[in-house]
Amino acid sequence: MVKKIFRSNLAVTLAVLLAAFVLLMGFLYEYFSAISRGELEVLTDTLASAFDYGGVDALEAVVPDERRVTLIDGDGNVIYDSVVDAETMENHSDREEFIEATSVGVGESTRYSSTLTERTIYRAVLLSDGSVLRVSVSGYSVLTLTLGMLQPMLICALAALALSAFISSKTAKKIVVPINELDLEHPLENDVYGELSPLLLRIYKQNDEIEKRMEELRLRDRELRDITSNMKEGLVLLGEDGKIVSINPAAASLFDVKGDAVGRDFICVCRSTEVTGALEKAKFEGHSETRYEKGGSTWQLEMSRTESDSGSTGASGAGTVLIAFDVTASLSAEEMRREFTANVSHELKTPLQSIMGSAELLENGLVKDEDKARFIGNIRRESERLVSLIDDIIRLSRLDEGTDFTYESVDIYALAKEEVEAVSEIAARRKITVSLCGEETVVYGVRRLFHEILYNLCDNAVKYNVDGGSVTVSVGYEDGRVLLSVRDTGIGIPKEHIPRIFERFYRVDKSRSKMTGGTGLGLSIVRHAVLYMKGEIYVESEVGVGTEIKVLLPQQI
């Protein structure tokens, strides 16, 4: 703007200067012409009087040096010339001033030199004897005058231009300063040029509109952030250039992003070649997926290309949206299912093979009579094992399926009493004492699951006990939670095995477990049941001393 004002001012100055120059030149030219003509008129009349008085001699005597005087007879022949020899001069009958003078008494004309640098004014008067007296005066032509004035005029123009430039820049700055200092946040509060009022009003309205839109955007952004920040899944939006547009906390923690990652290249955040390769693929093919391992967890990354239209602006851009799902649990569940199936097949196959072997030997009469009872006993034991194994598998799969169990008020003390009585008979055979301590403890839970817990724990406490040992079942409260504990004085569990005893089919001593009819599923069922009722389970054990398995459950499940 300053430049524009400066340029306009300069142009006006130049135009004014040029016009002034032309006017001045015209005025000077006219002024000097008028002087010359006046002088010529006086001189012509004086010389005519001199000629009338004394002829050519009188004329010669008064002719001024710097003027040219010519005397022409009525036919146009030059009789006398003050500058050139009259004899050599041509006939002047065709001269404009001569013709005019002979017809009206006075004639005047102006002629320019061939180079246009000189102008001569001729004035002729008809004398009383019929001859014509012509006086001429030469002066500068407009061109000469213009060329002569050019240098001073140029100096003037330069000075004027410099001054104009100085004033223009000062003025322009003075005009622009209040505009630059406009408070565009509050346009109506500005006290500046009245001409700017419509503009300020429009800015005010547009500011208002922008503020409304911004508020809407902020609201949407907040909504989106609220949704995405509470998502367990990681969500990353990438721009066309691969820069992060948005990243939710789950994704930020997945990719170990510290601080604000918006605007950063995703490749700097996640350097995994699989992920960047998948992103490239999604860019070209529209969709891709890959796995990402972190801290023992496996994440499934799904990437899709997005096309966005920026509404009114009509601009469009392609970005990529990345969603990360933690698939560790489902992968391990899958792995567990696979392992379980393999284990089940194996566990079922062993007793079946034993049954088949015994049956075949009996069938072929290869067993001595005295051994038959042992073989048949073996078939019965293995069949019992199969039945209990299948029972356990069915129970476990019900828990796995998450069957909806019925919740009710259960007195677990009374339930424990029944279990104690149930195992007491087998325990008595090995001189193991089973006792129950505690009080009536009513819990709102699943009766069946409590039964599974108590049955399996009591069964193990007897199974893995020493002859003459003891089992203590306690029911009550601990730290505001319901406590259920089964303690024995049995063989104990070596420390390194404790973390694994809840795994399916895990047995510390396979042969002992099988001998006692164990399936390796009892504690898995217990753990499942406890977790189903949102409880926790703890094991304390020492080899040769005994084991205590404690279950803590919330009072209101």
Instruction: Evaluate whether 297 touches 254 at the Cβ level (below 8 Å).
Output: no
Q: Which of residues 68-97 bind ligand ADP (CB under 6 A)?
A: none
Asked whether position 523 contacts ligand ADP by CB under 6 A, the answer is yes
Q: Which of residues 163-202 bind ligand ADP (CB under 6 A)?
A: none
Toward ligand ADP, which CB reaches closer, 126 or 549? Answer: 549
Asked whether position 474 contacts ligand ADP by CB under 6 A, the answer is no
Toward ligand ADP, which CB reaches closer, 157 or 493? Answer: 493
Toward ligand ADP, which CB reaches closer, 55 or 517? Answer: 517
Asked whether position 513 contacts ligand ADP by CB under 6 A, the answer is yes
Toward ligand ADP, which CB reaches closer, 137 or 549? Answer: 549
Toward ligand ADP, which CB reaches closer, 21 or 506? Answer: 506
Q: How far is the CB of 299 from ligand ADP (least distance, A)?
A: 32
Closest CA to 17 of 142, 160, 148: 160
Asked whether position 351 contacts ligand ADP by CB under 6 A, the answer is no
d(CA 292, CA 275): 8
Q: Describe the strand order of the beta sheet including 287-294 as a list of residue ranges.
A: 244-247, 234-238, 316-326, 297-309, 287-294
User: For ligand ADP, which residue of 107, 164, 488, 529 counts as binding (CB under 6 A)?
Assistant: 488
Asked whether position 501 contacts ligand ADP by CB under 6 A, the answer is yes
Q: Find the helix or strand (DSSP H, E) in which 436 lies.
A: strand 433-438
User: For ligand ADP, which residue of 234, 351, 518, 535 counts as binding (CB under 6 A)?
Assistant: 518
Q: How far is the CB of 505 from ligand ADP (least distance, A)?
A: 8
Q: How far is the CB of 472 from ligand ADP (least distance, A)?
A: 12
Q: Which of residues 444-473 bind ligand ADP (CB under 6 A)?
A: 456, 460-461, 464
d(CA 237, CA 245): 5
Which listed range, 66-74, 291-299, 320-328, 502-510, lies at the site for ligand ADP (CB under 6 A)? 502-510
Which listed range, 22-30, 48-56, 116-124, 486-494, lies at the site for ligand ADP (CB under 6 A)? 486-494
Instruction: Evaluate whether 514 touches 386 at the Cβ level (below 8 Å).
Output: no
Q: How far is the CB of 491 from ligand ADP (least distance, A)?
A: 5
Instruction: Evaluate whether 144 touches 118 at the Cβ level (below 8 Å).
Output: yes
Toward ligand ADP, which CB reaches closer, 99 or 498? Answer: 498
Toward ligand ADP, which CB reaches closer, 81 or 488? Answer: 488
d(CA 398, CA 535): 18
Q: How far is the CB of 269 from ligand ADP (least distance, A)?
A: 45
Question: How would you label 176-193 residue by residue, b for 16+ Cβ within 10 Å and e otherwise?
Answer: eeeeeebeeeebeebeee
Toward ligand ADP, which CB reaches closer, 54 or 517? Answer: 517
Q: How far is the CB of 541 from ligand ADP (least distance, A)?
A: 7
Q: Which alpha helices (H) appear in 181-285, and where do they start and end? A: 197-229, 249-254, 266-269, 273-285
Asked whether position 540 contacts ligand ADP by CB under 6 A, the answer is no
Asked whether position 493 contacts ligand ADP by CB under 6 A, the answer is yes
Toward ligand ADP, which CB reaches closer, 69 or 521? Answer: 521
Instruction: Look up residue 146 and give its two tokens.
Output: 């213009």
The residue assigned the tokens 């007879």 is 73
Asked whether position 319 contacts ligand ADP by CB under 6 A, the answer is no
Closest CA to 43 of 76, 82, 84: 82
Beta-bridged to residue 303, according to DSSP, are 288, 322
d(CA 382, CA 394): 18
Which listed range, 334-342, 343-351, 437-445, 517-525, lies at the site for ligand ADP (CB under 6 A)? 517-525
Phi, psi values for residue 225, rounded to 5°:
-65, -40
Asked whether position 13 contacts ligand ADP by CB under 6 A, the answer is no
Toward ligand ADP, which CB reaches closer, 40 or 493? Answer: 493
Instruction: Look up residue 9 and give its two tokens.
Output: 């001012």
End-to-end CA distance of the chain: 77
Asked whether position 509 contacts ligand ADP by CB under 6 A, the answer is yes
d(CA 66, CA 84): 13
Question: How would you label 467-503 residue by residue, b for 16+ Cβ within 10 Å and e otherwise?
Answer: eebbbbbbbeeeeeebbbbbbbbbbbbeeeeeeebbb
User: For ligand ADP, which residue of 234, 351, 520, 535 counts as binding (CB under 6 A)?
Assistant: 520
Instruction: Evaluate whether 539 touches 498 at the Cβ level (below 8 Å).
Output: yes
Asked whether position 507 contacts ligand ADP by CB under 6 A, the answer is yes
d(CA 90, CA 73): 12
Q: What does the binding site for ligand ADP look like in residue numbers (CB under 6 A)?
A: 456, 460-461, 464, 488, 490-493, 501, 506-509, 513, 518-524, 547
